[in-house]
Amino acid sequence: MYLEHFKFKELPFTITPNVGFFCSLKGHQEALNTLLFALRSGEGFIKIIGEVGSGKTLLCRKLLSSLEGEFVTAYIPNPDLNPIELRRALGREIGVDLSLLQDQHELLTQINQRLLSLYAQGKRIVLLIDEAQAIPPESLETLRLLTNLETETTKLLQVVLFGQPELDDNLNLQHFRQLKQRITFSYYLPLMTREDLDSYLFHRLATAGYSHAALFTNKARNILYDYSGGVPRIVNILCHKALLVAYGKGDEKISHKTMWHAIKDTDVAHAKSHKMLSLTIFTLGILIIVLLSVYLYKGII
């Protein structure tokens, strides 16, 4: 592809969450710090909310790689599970032998005993759930009940929920008021600012092995920010396509024209360009009407 052309060691803008490319932007680093502090505090539920493509899964995997020593982690990437499946997934993650279990009561007993055993070894047990907005209502209640497992002084299980804003809609339902009360820490993952974008591009390019002059022109970066909205996933898609276009043309830099090619080939960004164009035309139309009105008014006077 374009690896050799741009002297990359690896692709810098894949959409697969790669912890090696984690960029300590202000919002993402604050979220990670909040998570680490909250988990060491040992209390209840923690919630991270972010828009689609904002980097929640990468943050989740970064947290997983950061929790060592005293922590035992369980990770559920696809929580569209009924209560039985959810309990079994947790049991499997913490080392319960599911083949010997006869019923759900026995499963819960074994989960509790395993949690107590890990606690006796000085371990903290953390369950991380990605795409938490997809958890069925009955399974959310099961999750709350699982956190009732505790010693006289300590919760045996902490839960971190990573979800889209729809998760908040679910938790705001009256039925889940008990679970919502147990959320001790919450953080809304922000999208990138214009300044963040420059840091993000530099970091990913440097991590991929690029060590030459600025690859993206300032005008290309401005356009990239406007049409990505600061969403990391869209930034990655547009940058990858722009690099392909530049490679095909034999260019060594990404110009604003190259970025426009990438935008036109990307549905979500192209749709935004049409929306912005329509808004501009509408604004110009209003301005023309106002100017004509003023002109006619003065003419009458």
**128 - beta bridge partners?**
75, 160
Does residue 250 come out as left (phi exceeding 0), alpha (psi in the -120 to 50 range) or beta?
Answer: left
Query: In this model, does residue 208 exceed pLDDT 70?
Result: yes
Q: Are 36 and 128 in contact (CB under 8 A)?
A: no
Long-range contacts of 287-295 (CB under 8 A, 24+ apart): none
Q: What is the pLDDT of residues 4-59, one digit of tens each?
A: 999 999 999 999 999 999 999 999 999 999 999 999 888 779 999 999 999 999 99
Q: Are 243 and 254 in contact (CB under 8 A)?
A: yes
Of 200, 145, 142, 140, give the one whose Cα is nearest residue 170.
Answer: 140
Measured CA to CA, the distance from residue 157 to residue 116 in angstroms comes to 10
Q: 116 vs 8, 91, 113, 175, 199, CA distance in Å? A: 48, 13, 5, 30, 44
Percentage of residues of the chain with pLDDT beyond 90: 76
**Which strands form 124-129's sheet, in the order they lie side by side?**
71-76, 124-129, 158-163, 45-50, 183-189
Measured CA to CA, the distance from residue 69 to residue 124 in angstroms comes to 9
- pTM score of the predicted model: 0.86
Query: In this model, does residue 173 exceed pLDDT 80?
Result: yes
Q: What is the pLDDT of residues 74-128, one digit of tens each?
A: 999 999 999 999 999 999 999 998 887 778 889 999 999 999 999 999 999 999 9
**272 — pLDDT class (breaks 50, 70, 90):** low
Please name the residue ranges forming H helices in the chain: 3-6, 26-41, 56-66, 83-94, 104-120, 137-146, 166-171, 177-181, 194-207, 218-228, 232-249, 256-264, 267-300
Judged by DSSP in three states, 4 sits in helix
Q: Which domains does the chain have, with CATH numbers?
A: 26-189 (3.40.50.300), 196-286 (1.10.8.60)
